[in-house]
Amino acid sequence: MYSNGQAPIFILKDGTQRTRGRTAQSNNIAAAKAVADAVRSTLGPKGMDKMLVDSMGDVVITNDGATILKEMDIEHPAAKMIIEVAKTQEQHCYDGTTSAVILSGELLKRSEDLIEQNVHPTVICEGFRLAAERAIGLLDNHGISTQGENEVLHEVAKTALTGKSAGAVKSFMADICVRAVESVGITENDERLVDLSDIKVEKRQGGSIKDSSLIDGILLDKERVHAGMPRTISEAKIALVNSAIEVKKTEVDAKIQITDPNQLAMFLEEEENYIRNLVNTIEGAGANVLVCQKGIDELAQHYLAKKGIFAIRRAKKSDMEALSKATGGTIITNVEDMSESDLGQAAKVEEKKIGESDMTFVTGCPEAKSVSVLLRGGTEHVVDEIRRAFDDAVGVVSVAWEDGAVLTGGGSVLAALSRDLRTYAESIGGREQMAIEAFASALEIIPRTLAENAGLDPVTTLIELRKAHADGDEFAGINVYEGGVANMKEANVVEPVRVVEQAIQSATETAIMILRIDDVISSKGVPMGDGMGDMGDFHM
């Protein structure tokens, strides 16, 4: 910076990089487009998977957009903002991450064309905002009710699983998802709520995906503490204890001086009596199963085994809370205060060998508001991807169950919104009209990408899709299996309203935020890049 022709005055410290104006905008847009292009090939039933290898050599094979972006080592700040879109989509809707990221990239690509035509970024932002509000407002017109429609929820799960590793057994997995959500879902003041933490998921390699199962109770990754204990307990009365079953230690440092061997014998006998009394108290309350959050003394294990009580130690706090919900038992701290009313109930508690390790099944809980799902697969990578697919599917089923409405998929709703927005743009004066038209064109990136990934001609397919909507078929979407277009309602391709709404909202907000940046000042020495050629800071 120069002052009155004098020597330059340095405001920024040495090593700071600064990119301004059109260059800053084009760099940011290039980075965002690069992220969108990285996940674009994973979209839809015919999408491909990515293999990601981290610095430790760990391998992840997935086509889940959020997982891919989380595992990628990205430095560019604008690219990181696109990753936030995927994170938000995953947290709120569990699915649609790839769609949201692709939409963000396409909005920025279309806006770059407008900037080159000298349309000011703030005008583009205003047009995008108007278009997004209009699009979200129109979504309700395309909704299909799920109230009392169990079959619709099955189709939502199947759509979420299509194109993933679990796609081959999607009907089987969809059934598990729907039963799990309906087991834990509650209705309060005419409002439906699902707490997904009530669905406990355990994964075990070995066996096939079809060996996965839903358990109407709780599955614990624990085994009984003593071989002498029974493997199965019927009509279980379960004591949930979060303190250790062992001799209490003093709160402060203390020494006990023993001067006589008899005193030592008496001391040991007193310890033994204390442990025996604890076990007698547990038995006296009527418990035949003990789940302890802390440790169980070896002597206590022996006495519990002699009494025929099935005991587990070092259970996780989350497992204890899930057991309390499922069995109706109370988690107690002081064993001596235990009574029969504190005990939980289950028809059966059983230890079974799953894969290479033993697990405990607590089943037949009368008031169960907590269930478990055991996922199986041939290898560790398969089980991990099945888990990701299950999490997406059970998430979208819960969202559809809560909202009570779904939309047709296959790009049908976005094509319908695009058509509506073009008509709306004509009623808006000024340059915002150009931005709304650009937004309408950007929405078509989803059906276009679905066609590309299925090996179809994107231009021909898109023309057919527009014609079908012009002829009044509002549910027309891309038929990725046979080519051309098909009625998505008849094909049972559906997704929750919230998934599309959130994708449009977060993609628009991120695009607006990136467009408004005209100056990038980096003191970290992070390369800001000169467009796509300098995306060496973008690692996969």
How far is 46 from 56, CA to CA, in rounded Å?
30
In the chain, the percentage of residues whose pLDDT exceeds 90 is 14
Ranges 246-255, 267-276, 419-428: which has the least confidence: 246-255
Residue 349 and residue 176 in contact, taking contact as beta carbons nearer than 8 Å: no
Please pick, among 62, 98, 162, 461, the residue that the annotation labels catalytic: 98
| Token pair in block for residue 169 | 């057994």
Q: For 188-343, where are the alpha helices, taking DSSP H only?
A: 261-284, 298-306, 317-327
Residue 537 and residue 133 in contact, taking contact as beta carbons nearer than 8 Å: no
| Token pair in block for residue 300 | 């206590």
Q: For 54-139, where are the alpha helices, taking DSSP H only?
A: 65-71, 77-93, 97-116, 121-139
- Give DSSP secondary structure letters for 305-343: HHTT-EEE-S--HHHHHHHHHHH---EES-GGG--GGG-
| Token pair in block for residue 155 | 């189709």
Give the helix/strand (H/E) hosting 435.
Answer: helix 432-443
Residue 486 and residue 477 in contact, taking contact as beta carbons nearer than 8 Å: yes
Q: Read off the pLDDT band of 531 (50, 70, 90).
A: very low
Ranges 39-43, 119-123, 142-146, 187-191: which has the least confidence: 187-191
Angle at 465 between CA 463 and CA 469, to 5 degrees: 115
How far is 26 from 529, CA to CA, in rounded Å?
10
Of all residues in the chain, what percent are helix, strand and coil, respectively (each to 5)? 50, 20, 30
Tens-digit pLDDT profile for residues 60-117:
888 777 788 888 877 788 888 888 888 888 888 888 888 899 999 999 999 888 888 8
φ, ψ for residue 206, nearest 5 deg: 110, 140
How far is 440 from 393, CA to CA, in rounded Å?
29
485 beta partners: 478
How far is 401 from 397, CA to CA, in rounded Å?
6
226 torsion bin: left (phi>0), alpha (psi -120 to 50), beta (else)? beta
Residue 475 and residue 489 in contact, taking contact as beta carbons nearer than 8 Å: yes
Residue 36 and residue 101 in contact, taking contact as beta carbons nearer than 8 Å: yes
Q: Read off the pLDDT band of 199 (50, 70, 90).
A: confident
538 beta partners: 74
Q: Please list, in sequence order, all residues whose beta carbon lies within 8 angstroms of the beta carbon of residue 459, skipping any fewer than 6 positions away.
A: none
Instruction: Report the pLDDT averaged over residues 259-277.
Output: 75
Match 């996940």 to its residue by tokens.
39
- Give DSSP secondary structure letters for 382-403: HHHHHHHHHHHHHHHHHHHHHH
Please pick, among 97, 159, 360, 408, the residue that the annotation labels catalytic: 97
Instruction: Report the pLDDT averaged over residues 360-378.
Output: 81
Residue 14 to residues 2, 18, 105, 310, 523, Cα–Cα distance (Å)? 16, 11, 33, 68, 9
394, amino acid identity: V
Query: Quick one: pLDDT at residue 103?
Result: 93
Higher pLDDT, 166 or 460: 460
Residue 439 to residues 18, 82, 228, Cα–Cα distance (Å)? 30, 17, 69
How far is 495 from 116, CA to CA, in rounded Å?
37
Residue 503 and residue 99 in contact, taking contact as beta carbons nearer than 8 Å: yes
Q: What is the CA radius of gyration of the chain?
A: 30
How many beta carbons lie within 10 A of that of residue 531, not counting itself?
Answer: 13
Residue 387 and residue 203 in contact, taking contact as beta carbons nearer than 8 Å: yes
The full set of domains in the chain, from first to last, is: 17-144+408-453+488-539 (1.10.560.10), 217-367 (3.50.7.10)
Instruction: Report the pLDDT averaged over residues 178-192.
Output: 79
pLDDT exceeds cutoff 50 at 533: no
Nearest to 170 by CA among 191, 189, 156: 156
pLDDT exceeds cutoff 80 at 527: no
pLDDT exceeds cutoff 60 at 528: no
Instruction: Report the pLDDT averaged over residues 213-221.
Output: 83
408, amino acid identity: T
pLDDT exceeds cutoff 60 at 48: yes
Q: Read off the pLDDT band of 10 (50, 70, 90).
A: low
Residue 343 and residue 329 in contact, taking contact as beta carbons nearer than 8 Å: yes
Tens-digit pLDDT profile for residues 113-163:
888 888 888 899 999 999 999 999 888 888 777 665 677 888 888 888 887
Answer yes or no: 98 catalytic: yes
Match 């418990």 to its residue by tokens.
287
Instruction: Report the pLDDT averaged over residues 183-202.
Output: 79
Tens-digit pLDDT profile for residues 430-443:
888 899 999 999 99
Please pick, among 392, 408, 473, 508, the residue that the annotation labels catalytic: 392
Please pick, among 42, 62, 64, 420, the residue that the annotation labels catalytic: 64
Answer yes or no: 461 catalytic: no
Q: pTM for the whole thing?
A: 0.75
Q: Read off the pLDDT band of 250 (50, 70, 90).
A: low
Query: Quick one: pLDDT at residue 86?
Result: 85
Q: Residues for the chain: how many in total?
A: 540
Query: Quick one: pLDDT at residue 530?
Result: 45
Higher pLDDT, 454 or 264: 454
Tens-digit pLDDT profile for residues 403-461:
888 888 888 999 999 999 999 988 887 888 899 999 999 999 999 999 998 888 989 99
pLDDT exceeds cutoff 80 at 352: yes
In the chain, the percentage of residues whose pLDDT exceeds 70 is 89
How far is 17 from 25, CA to CA, in rounded Å?
15
Tens-digit pLDDT profile for residues 173-183:
888 888 888 88
Nearest to 361 by CA among 346, 376, 375: 346
Instruction: Report the pLDDT averaged over residues 207-217.
Output: 82
